[in-house]
Amino acid sequence: MTPRPFTTRLSVGLAALCLLSSAQAGIAVSAYSMPDGVDLWGAYFDNAYNGTRSATRYLSGGTGDLTDGVLSASVSAGYGAWAPYVMWDEQSPTITFDLGSTHTVNSVMAYFKYYPQAAVYMPGSLSLRFSSDGVNYGSTQLRTLSVSERVPGGNDSNGIFELLTSPGNGRFVELTLNNGPENRWLALSEVVFDGTPGAASSVPEPGSAGLLLVALAGLGWAQRRRA
């Protein structure tokens, strides 16, 4: 069989990309709560947090550094350059995200900084749980980072991870950063959720964007194999 010209394959790929972006959109976080980062250098805590900071430095009712759209930054300029990050030392903090309403969550991306010379490491693992009411949570998804994931590069490199092992459903997402064997600094800059509003749907209707996407993806795959 004659392979289709490149332009045909390109248009199929673009169509699939457009569908992907419309079928799965970023979820805006309404609020998150957590123990604030360390109060050092005017940078290590949650600089942008706009909710309440209690006397024990517990944050609630707002958003900040972890959802401001700044995913990664160089910290080579010194202490103040860590401001985009929230940093905890010898802790395994739990962060509770409120998505505002129930969503099917297909992706949770986390953006960390790695700087071993400054004792800033990757977590050993991450625990995720979903809840519809913020009280009763489902079973825990444990995402263990591999040896190579825990060493994403040299000083000032970025550790960026998909945390979900399978789609979740709910309004509240509880994320715990389980410190690794070093039990030292963790530096987190952003957590990005993707998915669709509403509860987990049953069988999708024929002709829906999702099915079309699957079909187009299959077409592209078949053409690549033929090419």
Residue 62 or 210 having the CB closest to Ca ion: 62
* Minimal distance, residue 43 CB to Ca ion, in Å: 5
Residue 65 or 98 having the CB closest to Ca ion: 65
* Minimal distance, residue 145 CB to Ca ion, in Å: 20
Q: At what angle do helices 6-23 and 209-226 cross, to 10 degrees?
A: 150
Residue 46 or 213 having the CB closest to Ca ion: 46
Residue 131 or 190 having the CB closest to Ca ion: 190
Q: Which residues contact 112 (CB under 8 A, 6 or more apart)?
A: 122, 123, 158, 159, 160, 161, 186, 187, 188, 189
Give CA–CA dist 88/101, Å, rounded. 29
Residue 70 or 219 having the CB closest to Ca ion: 70
Give which of 159, 125, 157 is closest to 143, Cα–Cα.
Answer: 125
Q: What is the 3-state secondary structure (H, E, C) of 12-53?
A: HHHHHHHHHHHHCEEECCCEEEEECCCCCCCCCCCCCCCCEE
* Minimal distance, residue 83 CB to Ca ion, in Å: 5
Asked if 106 contacts 21 with a C-beta cutoff of 8 angstroms, the reply is no
Q: What are the percentages of helix, strand and coil residues in the chain, rounded to 5?
A: 20, 35, 45
* Minimal distance, residue 65 CB to Ca ion, in Å: 5
Helix, strand, or coil here: 10?
helix
Tokens of 212: 């079309």
Residue 19 or 73 having the CB closest to Ca ion: 73
Interface ranges with Ca ion (CB under 5 A): 47, 65, 68, 70, 83, 189-190
Residue with tokens 């976080």: 29
